[in-house]
Amino acid sequence: MAEWRVAGFTEVRRLGEGAQGRVVLARHEPSGAPVAIKYVRPGAGEAERERLRHEARMLGRADSPHVARLFRLVEAPEGVAIVMEAVDGVSLKEILEREGALGPEASLTVLKGSLLGLAAAHALGVVHRDFKPANVVVPADGRSKLVDFGIATPAGADAGGAGTPYYMAPEQWSEHVATPASDVYAATCVFVECVSGRRPYALSGRAALMNAHLTGPIPVEAVPEPLRALVASGMAKDPGERPAGAAAFVDELEQAARRAYGEDWESRGVRAVAASAAALAALFPLAAWILPGAAGAGAGGSAGSVGLAAGHAAGAGKVAAAGGVKAFVTSGGGMAAVATGTAVVVAGGAFTVTQVTGSDPGPRSTASRSSAPAATTVSAISSCRTTGPSGETVRPPAKPASVRLPPQVRLPPGAAVYHSGQDQFMIGPADAACRGSLGASGGSTDVGDARTGVVSNVFQNSLGGIGIAVCLYFPGAPEAGRDCSPSTLTRRVNVPSGVPGVRTMLGTGPPDSGARIPPSPRVAVTLATMGKDGVPSPIACAVPWDKRDLCTAALTWWFVRATRKTAIAEADLDRVAARIAAYVASARQ
């Protein structure tokens, strides 16, 4: 019996096959774009079909340049398949097997990219559960991507003992709940393997591995001394003693890397990783686009891993060179529905379900998305009513009719952009009252109420007020002095901004007036930045729990605005945005 193939795609070659099904490299016929297609095995039962649907849901929600993109889930009477980004690179597993240890800076770079991919999942309340070298793909630019969400699960669900034994956290062995800290443990295990060339517990037999992960000493001696605290933190036996999630672990990683290897550690690490990947460029799946059979040596492995699937779909008709091997890199846009059944088209991380029939091969909308979310244009900006020191109305500065939000900011339903008398732009509840006040010592702006939620900014002009604000938001800063009163904020974390001299923090706590806090369950989070001038710029958000995406957007937009005059890298904006989203998601009260 001939294997079912998704219509509209020409299969180039098989990338892998296993008990669950097969993965192939294919060309989208209308556009010429390379994709990876993952099929369940012929005759698969409903449980296996649901597993692939589940993976599609996970991939479709995780919107990050460090996660392989989903283009479509296709269901037909003949079977189920997902069409996804073909990442033109080689699996970390292949690199380690052929090249050996990567060295500290390169390993830190791989770990950071992988953690950013995990952070995107954690921000959505998803635990990957099977982080391992085979599920990390390294393209020629050295920026790793996370693939295969086949056994991902909601945070807090039963771990069920699933995962790869060499990298499973203690709580997975004992079948306790799966948490983002479980992914942190696995990522740290992979980091040890990258640095040393050996798995943390290189034992044979499931029982021996279980005992080692449950009770064995943490192998900190396998890495250089400056990185041992990082390994001890990430591989702590008790999940409560590890960083709460990938975004928090990125913060620890960057601090340790800067202390050990200087501010430019990452640029050197990326170059080293890229060199290791380029040395294996003949294994890149898209090498077969022009040189058929060139990547044949890497075609083995489980169909559950797209670690050898390749191809950044960006820029129609361009030719990219990697390690001397040229590969066509074409546009992934314009894909149409491909089979009778149900097609789920992903755009901007949201699913649109369309029934597909033989007579109507739609849908006709684009089924791909760019490597970064598209910028959002806000058609209207509301002005805040601001009063001056004597109660007079202050006419706000002229405002633009619309503002284009950066890709890190997603404006959720029920949110709007406001323009205040301090010439600030804030995101708050739509159709809410926006009030501002100006005085000799400072001022404030807040949007909303206890019903809709409230977003608030309080700024200081006087030296005394600025000193109090520094104590509240940055009590450990040199500018705070020694006489700071205890801060009213809890769960404080410092968030490295990536910009020298710019400090950022997150804390749990209400805006300025507890009377306007929505009832529980809610989220109440504060973010503040402080530059070289020593003046904190805070924003606080308190909304009902089901509207928490508004806080994520408001705080992220505030950070982007605060750093707009600096040379902040896009990768740092992505990282801070992921950190804010993860923090808000964990701040339920």
- Catalytic residue positions, numbered: 130
CA-to-CA dists, residue 77 to 28, 339, 342, 356, angstroms? 21, 9, 10, 12
The residue written with tokens 């499973």 in the block is 168
Which residues are CB-neighbours of 262 under 8 A, at least 6 positions away? none
Which residues are CB-neighbours of 499 under 8 A, at least 6 positions away? 563, 566, 567, 568, 572
- Report the alpha-carbon distance of residue 170 to residue 333 in Å, rounded: 43
Burial (Cβ within 10 Å: 0-12, 13-18, ≥19) of residue 292:
exposed
Among 251, 137, 159, 138, which residue's Cα sits nearest to residue 213?
A: 159
DSSP state letters, 416-471: EEEE-TTS-EEEEETT--EEEEE-SSEEEEEEEETTTEEEEEEEE-SHHHHHHHHH
- Report the alpha-carbon distance of residue 499 to residue 459 in Å, rounded: 22
Q: Are 345 and 367 in contact (CB under 8 A)?
A: yes
Q: Which ranges of 262-394 does DSSP label H, i.e. alpha helix? A: 265-278, 287-290
Structural tokens at position 67: 């996660």
φ, ψ at 557 (rounded to 5°): -60, -40
Q: Specify the 3-state DSSP secondary structure of 329.
A: strand
CA-to-CA dists, residue 295 to 14, 29, 219, 290, 381, angstroms? 11, 22, 35, 11, 52
Which residues are CB-neighbours of 583 under 8 A, at least 6 positions away? 247, 493, 506, 525
507: amino acid identity, one letter: G
DSSP state letters, 27-94: EETTT--EEEEEEEPTT--HHHHHHHHHHHHHHHH---TTBPPEEEEEEETTEEEEEEE---EEEHHH
Q: Are 200 and 219 in contact (CB under 8 A)?
A: yes
Burial (Cβ within 10 Å: 0-12, 13-18, ≥19) of residue 415:
buried
Q: Are 90 and 119 in contact (CB under 8 A)?
A: no
